[in-house]
Amino acid sequence: MGKKVKYDYAFKLECVKLVLESDYSAEAVSKQKGLNESNIRKWVGFYKTQGERGLLPRKNRSYSTVFKLKVVQSIDKEFLSLRDACFKFNIPDAGIIVK
């Protein structure tokens, strides 16, 4: 049985398009849709870096040691924030990097 998704793909895409194409702010969309502004910002970031596939649900993944090292080295060398590293490496949540 698959993981239940809180917000489906179509809803995320609708919110992202409101921000990017209709010139609404993430704050305005969050108030209009009744959700946290950080979700909107995260979805917009994934959309900008990964395209529509960045909004698709992700299955629980395990990351190899080599991949983990690459992420940490990129954060260090490129001075990436945790959120930017998530966008760059398509990691769904910054908590995964922290662990």
Please report, for residues 24, 36, 99, the alpha-carbon distance to residue 20 in angstroms, rounded to integers and kept in the order given: 7, 17, 32
pLDDT over 70, % of the chain? 95
Whether pTM > 0.85 for this model: the answer is no
Other C-beta atoms lying within 10 Å of the C-beta of residue 46: 23
pLDDT in tens, 30-53: 999 999 999 999 999 999 998 999
Distance between CA atoms of residues 86 and 89, nearest Å: 5
Per-domain residue ranges of the chain: 9-55, 65-98
Distance between CA atoms of residues 70 and 44, nearest Å: 24
pLDDT in tens, 63-89: 899 999 999 999 999 999 999 999 899
